[in-house]
Amino acid sequence: MAAIVDDSTLALQRLYHWESTTPDRVAYTQPIGGGQVTTYTWRQVMDQARRMAAHLKAQGIGPGDRVAMLSKNTAHWMMSDFAIWLAGAVSVPLYPTLAAGTIRQILEHSGAKLLFVGKLDGWEGMKPGVPAGLPCISHPLSPDDAKKSYPGWDDICAKTQPLQGNATRPADDLATIMYTSGTTGAPKGVMHSFGTFAWGVQSGLKRVPAINLDARMLSYLPLSHVAERTLVEHGQLATGMHIYFAESLETFTQDLQRARPTVFFSVPRLWVKFQQGISAKMPPAKLDRLLKIPILKGIVKKKILTALGLQECVFAAGGAAPMPPALLRWYNKLGLDLVEVYGMTENCGVSHATLPGKQRPGTVGLPYDGVQSRLDPVSSEIQVKAPCLMLGYYKEPGLTKEAFTEDGWLRTGDKGALDAEGNLKITGRVKDLFKTSKGKYVAPAPIEDKLVMHTAVEACCVTGANLGQPLALLMLNIDAMNKAADAGGRGELEGSLAEHLKGINETLDPHEQLDCLVVTTEAWTVDNDLITPTFKVKRNRIEDRFAAHYDQWVGSRKKVIWTS
């Protein structure tokens, strides 16, 4: 299903539009350290992008060539993408947390001819992944070593004349190759055209009118991820909204308060952290009491939202993983109705969403305009069809064929069900289901949604194929691990987790009830290959690491077990 779009909605045409109609409007606010920021107008953005595009062409970069970007979110990430497109090339964004081996794998698989190196925390460990001889360009906020090793962006722009004219590229032209985060194996290169992104954004905007010329967003989730790429980059190209960037994890609260976003998207993990931060300062029971007092509740709500920097937020959303219903209810009490969205890299992240002001906890709502959705009658797999579907996996015709049904529907790999209103409920992954020794199937995702609601739990994995009952592995957050460092703190934490387990088991069918919780003292990181750059747990790696101990843990008869 090819993307049929108005040419004026394509990325390059949108850039020319803002360059010519609002040249002095601020496009980006970029922190540069020490609490200082700099801003870039559309005129400045396009001047730099045109100069870099001219440089790329002078280096022999031509139509269809792949140019990679390894950086956290910055204004220069965006300008690099624009320069690549202006030069006729294809951008290949890499997650800024990847290990050297994965960086090398993607750069070699994509055949990248040049790499932009930007703002990074772990460059020293990443640098060995850059193939010898690959030309690189450093961004102004790149690590000092990269600045010393490679030609700098500012120097190149200073001595290069801007690319002239307004060259366009057709809707079916390849714009980018986005490598998946690799939950089930090696990352796959998802190919998207200018048309698939343009169609996806136009469909999404019909559901989210709050994204407009006057909107403000904070860009902090990786731009190499489809959600941020569609919502922030292409959402801005469509509407001209103002994008703020985050400086660091340590300054995140200040970054949010500076931006005062009117539209805010986050993963459930961060929404939970916000909630936990508020609960640490104000016990939930006290908050509930205050919210029941008419004269105080408005003041309390505003104070909490202002502390989060969300006092002017009119559209808040969560996605990339299921949103626990209890979390949705908690924010609803504060006057913030979280919209739950569903999508994947292969469809530009544009599939389903709940309606603003009409929460349907436990579901991801209805399809976007123009998106068709169905459930496989045998496996209950969710399958979708829309003009924003990928062109395929780069250099992988076999995997591309497997990703689609015979009649052209994308296989999402997710299992689903519909409620009476037609809202879609994600019930798990088709391949995540496992069978206990009693012959009963267990879907781990709904149980994990309940487990992560404990304030100490950072990540979890429900597992136990061929065991009598499933069990759950937990990674605790840093505060909980510090508390567990002394015997008294550990004992209190064990009691709390055991009570949490008891409460969850009371809500589950007998065959789903967890035998025990296993707390792993080693952090799950990208480096040890237990999570992806988007913080999704790699179930197969968890199994490889811990499965040999399952029988021993179950045999211990303990409800909470600590293991290294």
Task: pLDDT band for 360, please (50, 70, 90 cuts).
Answer: confident
Any idea which architecture 258-429 has in CATH?
3-Layer(aba) Sandwich (3.40)
Q: Say if residues 313 and 337 touch (Cβ distance below 8 Å).
A: no
Q: How large is the average pLDDT for residues 220-235? A: 94
Provide the CA 103 distance to its chain's centre, in angstroms: 19
Average pLDDT, the chain: 92
SS3 call for 183? coil
Task: Name every residue whose Cβ is closer than 8 Å to that of residue 306 and which is 6 or more positions away in sequence.
Answer: none
Task: pLDDT band for 3, please (50, 70, 90 cuts).
Answer: low
Q: How large is the average pLDDT for residues 130-136? A: 97
Q: How large is the average pLDDT for residues 289-303? A: 90
pLDDT at 17: 98
Q: Say if residues 73 and 222 touch (Cβ distance below 8 Å).
A: yes
In angstroms, the CA 69 to CA 108 distance is 14
SS3 call for 177? strand
In angstroms, the CA 413 to CA 70 distance is 28
pLDDT at 522: 87
Residue type, 415: K
Q: Read off the pLDDT of residues 533-556 as tens digits, 9 standing for 90 and up.
A: 777 888 888 888 898 899 889 888
Any idea which architecture 7-243 has in CATH?
3-Layer(aba) Sandwich (3.40)
Angle, vertex CA 142, rays to CA 138 and CA 147, nearest 5: 55
Q: How do strand 352-353 and strand 338-342 relate by DSSP bridges?
A: antiparallel
Q: Say if residues 338 and 318 touch (Cβ distance below 8 Å).
A: yes
Q: Name the pTM for this structure.
A: 0.85
Query: Is it true that 7-243 and 258-429 share their CATH fold?
Result: yes
Q: Read off the pLDDT of residues 164-200 as tens digits, 9 standing for 90 and up.
A: 999 999 999 999 999 986 655 678 999 999 999 999 9
Comparison of pLDDT for 164 and 466, the residue scoring more: 164
Q: Which two tokens stand for residue 64?
A: 């269809």
Select from 119, 93, 80 the least CA-distant residue to 223. 93
Alpha helices in 226-350 (DSSP H): 226-228, 235-239, 252-259, 268-281, 284-291, 294-308, 325-333
DSSP string, 50-83: HHHHHHHHHTT--TT-EEEEE-SS-HHHHHHHHH
The enclosing H or E element of 489 equals helix 487-505
Q: Say if residues 289 and 504 touch (Cβ distance below 8 Å).
A: no
Low-confidence winner among 35-39, 47-51, 218-222, 282-286 (lowest mean pLDDT): 282-286
Q: Read off the pLDDT of residues 402-415 as tens digits, 9 standing for 90 and up.
A: 999 999 999 999 88
Domain limits of the chain? 7-243, 258-429, 434-563
pLDDT at 184: 55
Q: Which two tokens stand for residue 277?
A: 């931060």
pLDDT at 273: 84
CATH superfamily of 434-563: ANL, C-terminal domain (3.30.300.30)
